[in-house]
Chains A and B, each alone.
Chain A
Amino acid sequence: MIYSLSRKNIWRNKVRSLIVMGSVTVGLICGIFFIAFMNGMTVQRINSAIKSEVSHIQIHNPAFLDDNEVQYTIPNIAEITNLLDTTSTIMAYAPRITITGMIGSARSSEGVKIVGINPDKERMVTDIHTKITDSVPNYFGKKRPIMISKRLADKMRVKLNSKIVLTFQSTTGELTGAPFKVTALYQTSNKVFDEMMVFVPQQKIAAIAGLKSNQAHEIAILLKSDLQTADTKENITEAFPNITVRTWKKIMPELGMMVDMMDSMLYVFMIIILVALAFGIINTMMMAVLERQREIGMLMAIGMNKKRVFTMIMLETIYISMTGAIVGMLISHLILSTLANTGIDMSLYAEGLEAYGYDKIIYPAIDLIHYINISVLVVITAIVSSVWPARKALKLKPAVSMRIE
C-alpha cells in the first residue's frame, strides 16, 4: 500500500519529478562516462604495457638488475624453462638478451636497449610484430638485421636498408660492436619505448657479446589471466629463490599505483556528483512535504503511524532517484557500447598521450560491478536525502497541518 502510494505520489508534480530524475540521469551519465573513460585508458595502457613492453612476469639474475652487466645472465635457465613449460597458468614465455648500448649512424648516435629475441617465441609473448609499419621480406632472416622504431629512424635520419652500428660492452668488459642493417620499422603508442628499444636476433647478438646461444638476461612470461600473476610469481620464486621474479606492477610501479588507486579515485568522483545531486533531491522532497502538510496531517489523523509516513517519504525519494539512475545507466550503456567499438579519437592530444604511453584512440570500458556499485550509491544517496524531509513530515501535528490551506 505504501509502495503503491509512494509510486503514485512522485507523479503528482510531473515536471518537478522529471527535472529531478533528469538531473540524476545526466549526473550519472557524466559520472559513468568519466569512470569508463578513465578505466578504459588505464586498461588500455596496462594491456599495452603487458602485451608490448613488460609481459605479466619477468625473470632476471638479481645482479643484472643491480649492475646491468652483460655477464649476469639467468642461472639454471634450463631448469627454469622446464618449470615454465609445465606451469599451466603460463600461456607463453620468451627468453631475451638485453644489453644497454649505443646505436650509431653516419649522422647521429643514441643510447638504446638492444633486445636479442627469438622471433618465434617473441611473437607468442608480445605483439611487437604487429606494430611493424615497414619491413623487407623475411626481415629477421638477413645476416645482421635490426628492427628499430620509426621514431628512432626519423631521429637518426635512417630508413629501411640503412646501415647502423651497435656498440656495447661484451662479457669480457671490452667495448665491442657490429654493423646491422635496418630491415624493419615499428611504431607503438609509447614514445619512450620506441626511442629506447631496438630488436635483433638473439643468436646474432649473443655471438657478438660473447654469450652462449642459450643464455639470456631476461625471460618475459605471458599468463593466461592477469588474475594468476601473484600465484605464478610465488610458485616460480619458491622453486628458484636465487633469481628475481617480478610482476608487471613491480616493473612499472606507476601503472600498478594507477590500478590500485583508480577505482577509489573514480568512486570519489562519483560520490562528489551524488552529493551535488543530493541537494537537489532534498530540495524537491522538502517542497513536496511542505506542499502536502495538510495531506500528511490527515494521514496521521486517520491512523498512519510515523514509521509509515517516514517510509512513504523515503520510498518516494528512492523511486525518483532510482528511476533517474536506471535511465542514466541505460543511456550510458548505449553510449559506451557504441564507443567501445568506435573509440574516442584524442588525436588532438596524441603527442602528450604518447609521451606517457597512451594510445590516441581511447575505448571507454566499464564492468558490471561498477553499475551495481553505482546503483547502491544512488540508493544510499536517496535514503540519506530523504531523512531531512521525512523528519520534517514527522514533526507535523495533524490538528495544525489540517488547518493549512
Chain B
Amino acid sequence: METVIKVEKLYKIYNETGVEVKAINGIDLEIKEGEFTAIVGPSGSGKTTLLNMIGGLDNPTSGIVEVGGVLLTDMSSSQLIDFRKNNIGFIFQSYNLIPVLTAKENVEFVMQLQGRSKKECSQRAIELLEAVGLGDRINSRPAKLSGGQQQRVAVARALASNPRFILADEPTANLDSKSTENLLDIMLKLNLKEKATFVFSSHDQRVVNKARRVIVVEDGKIINDDANN
C-alpha cells in the first residue's frame, strides 16, 4: 500500500517564556493509505502537536511533513486551509460543532465550503447521519444532542467532504464507555467503507484496542510503533 503520510526529522520547539520546550523531538513516521492508526501516550507527550503538524494546523520548527504527496511545510496558510478543506477531515475532542446550526447543517457546512450544490450537500449529509445512526436527529441542534451523538455528528462532518485523511484528536475523551464503543465501531466501519486513512490520538486503552496500528509517543519521540514490530 502507498505511503500517504510522511514525517521526517520533525521538531517543534516552544520558547515562549525563555524556557525551551521540545513538544516534538525528532519524529520520523510513515502511514500507509487506509490505515486505522492510534497515536498514544501520556498527557504532554506530543500526540496533539504531532496530529496538528500532520493536519497542517501548526508549523514545525524543522523537518518536513508530506501528506498525500504534498509538502505541507512549503505551503502558505491560505494554501493549507484549502488543502485541509479538500483532503482532511477533523474530529475534535470537544466535538466543536457550530452551535447555531442543526446536525444536518453542520455536516453540510464543509461541503458548502467546497462549493457543492445544495442538493448534493443535503443528500450526502443525510446519508452520513444515517450511517452514524442519527437519521432521526438531523434537524436537532448540538445543544439537544448527547455527547456521544454530537461526536457522531462530528464524525459525519469529518467524512462529508470525502477526505483522504481523518485526523481525530482524543475523539472519545468526553464520552462514556458505551458511546466510546459505538463511536469506534462507526469509525472502523467508515474506515473500510470510505477508504479514508484514520489517524487519531488517545490515551484511552479501549481506543488502542480497536486500532490496527499503535504508535506510542513519549516526550516528543516515538518509543514504539506496531509497524516496526
Contact = CB atoms under 8 A, between A and B. Distances in A.
User: Closest 9 A-B residue pairs measured CB to CB?
Assistant: A303-B85, A8-B100, A399-B58, A298-B96, A1-B112, A399-B57, A399-B52, A398-B57, A305-B81
Contacts of A299: 98
A295 B109 CA distance: 13
Nearest to A1: B112
B81 A306 contact: yes
Interface string B112-154: 1110000000000000000000000000000000000000000
Contacts of B110: 302-303
Contact of B78 (A9, A295, A301, A305): A305
Contact of B101 (A8, A303, A398): A8
B82 A303 contact: yes
A302 to B, nearest CB: 5
Given A5-B100, A295-B98, A399-B57, A303 B92 contact: no
Nearest to B112: A1
A303 B52 contact: no
Given A301-B57, A302-B110, A12 B100 contact: yes
Contacts of A1: 109, 112-113
B210 interface: no
Interface in A271-292: none
6 contacts: A294-B96, A302-B90, A303-B85, A304-B81, A399-B52, A399-B57
Given A298-B96, A399-B52, A304 B78 contact: no
A302 B52 contact: no
Given A5-B100, A8-B101, A9-B100, A301 B55 contact: yes
Contacts of A306: 77-78, 81
Contacts of A9: 100
A298 B92 contact: yes
B116 to A, nearest CB: 11
Range for the number of chain A residues in contact with chain B: 20 to 34
B113 A303 contact: yes
Interface-central residue, A295, A308, A399, by most chain B CB under 10 Å: A399
A299 B113 CA distance: 10
B25 interface: no
Interface string A93-104: 000000000000
A134 to B, nearest CB: 72
Given A301-B84, A302-B90, A306-B81, A402 B96 contact: yes
B193 to A, nearest CB: 21
A305 B82 contact: yes
B113 A304 contact: yes
Contacts of A158: none
B100 A303 contact: no
Nearest to A400: B58
Interface of B: 52, 55, 57-58, 77-78, 81-82, 84-86, 89-90, 92, 94, 96, 98-101, 109-110, 112-114, 157, 161
Interface of A: 1, 5, 8-9, 11-12, 294-295, 298-306, 308, 397-399, 402
Contacts of B161: 303
Contacts of A11: 100
B88 to A, nearest CB: 8
Given A295-B99, A300-B81, A402-B92, 17 more contacts: A11-B100, A12-B99, A12-B100, A294-B94, A295-B96, A299-B98, A301-B55, A301-B90, A302-B84, A302-B85, A302-B90, A303-B84, A303-B113, A305-B78, A306-B81, A398-B57, A402-B57
A399 B90 CA distance: 12
Nearest to A405: B94
Interface-central residue, A1, A294, A300, A306, by most chain B CB under 10 Å: A1
B101 to A, nearest CB: 7
A402 B161 CA distance: 21
Contacts of B85: 302-305
Contacts of B84: 301-303
A5 B98 contact: yes
A304 B106 CA distance: 13
Given A399-B52, A402-B92, A302 B113 contact: yes
B101 A5 contact: yes
Contacts of A301: 55, 57, 84, 90
Contacts of A8: 100-101
A9 B100 CA distance: 7
Nearest to A398: B57
A276 B78 CA distance: 35
Contacts of B55: 301
A399 B112 CA distance: 23
Contacts of B58: 397, 399
A397 B58 CA distance: 8
A75 B113 CA distance: 80
Contacts of A298: 90, 92, 96
A341 to B, nearest CB: 44
A399 B109 CA distance: 20
A308 B109 CA distance: 13
A305 B77 CA distance: 9
Contacts of B81: 300, 303-306
B92 to A, nearest CB: 7
Interface-central residue, A299, A300, A301, A397, by most chain B CB under 10 Å: A301
